[in-house]
Amino acid sequence: MLRYLMGDEKAFETPDILKVNQDPNAFEYLEDELHYVIAIVYDRKAATLSDLKISISDFNQKYFQNDDLKISNIFLDQDATIPIIMIRKFDNGSKAIRYYETVKIIANNLSLPRSIMKYSPSPNRIIGSYMLPRM
């Protein structure tokens, strides 16, 4: 906003993220630090956001009742059509991965679409686990 007020007409332009040079060392994977698990829901025609959160809450109560997990959401897009559901908080990466692996096993048993289960366990590329330093 300040850049625009100071006369920068390009202040609100969205950069093409494919053209932005990103430093691969900009983030460091910290296994023993706080982790969150996120689910980005691209196609939710069959369920409302509330239904999805209730299902996740039921899952957490059934399989992770002693972990005191919390659920919240934000939206990926400005039109609020693509929700990001955040499950928090995991004391370390191993607990977050254990949660994900449990979800994957249950999803396979229920024959859910494999497209919702995208994950790479490489420490440099965790999808579904968001690393935050402790405050």
List pLDDT tens digits, range 24-50.
677 778 889 999 998 888 776 767 888
Distance CA 73, CA 92 (A): 21
Please state, in angstroms and as integers, the Cα–Cα distance from residue 103 to each residue in 25, 39, 58, 134, following that order. 30, 11, 12, 25
Tokens of 55: 């299902």
The pTM assigned to this predicted structure is 0.63
Range name among 50-59, 67-76, 96-105, 125-134 with the lowest pLDDT average: 125-134
Q: How far apart are CA 85 and CA 94, in angstroms?
A: 20
Distance CA 93, CA 70 (A): 17
